[in-house]
Structure 1
Amino acid sequence: MEPPHLVEDTLPDPKDNQVLVKILAAPINPADMNTIQGKYPVKPKFPAVGGNECVAEVICVGDNVSGLEAGQHVIPLATGLGTWTTHAIYNKDQLLRYPKKWV
């Protein structure tokens, strides 16, 4: 198996119920390290991006997304989304918006 390495990629504009986010912070926790080592019960499908948690800023949304807009901050509601990246596209139902007063 090829060792983990950095890959640069481009993301398309979000469609339908998708949201393009900029990852602002993503922690590294023991479960993430165990996943990389293959010791965690959940096994990702490869190629994969590590990370399960983050704080992200909405950049833009797909045509069918309501309740989220550019500039709002969100956190993921699902695991295995691959948060160790600079930008990502997630489905709206995978994200939770939180109040600006928390920022």
Structure 2
Amino acid sequence: LSGRYELEGRGMLFHYPQGSRAGFYMRNTHIDLSIAFVGLDDRVLAVREMEAESMEIVRPDRLYRYAIEAPSGWYAERGIADGALLRLPPGIALPE
């Protein structure tokens, strides 16, 4: 979401079929975001808040399959926290 000034209720899904430990940071991202890391068992490992332009690297302490960026506070507003089960909506095609 680099370079954006608003999300208009959208987010971004990062899919790592074999799992990842890569970190995320906010260089050139002009809005605060929330990010959820989802483990290989499709459960939320961690939800973190990320500040605009921050170079702090954010990652969970375990391997994750998905990282999902959303508007700041989106997960908290919906009661989504560590341990929640992810169910992707129909129509989302993920590469193998």
Q: Which has the higher helix share?
A: 1
Q: Which has the higher strand share?
A: 2
Q: Greater CA radius of gyration, 1 or 2?
A: 1
TM-score (norm 1): 0.26
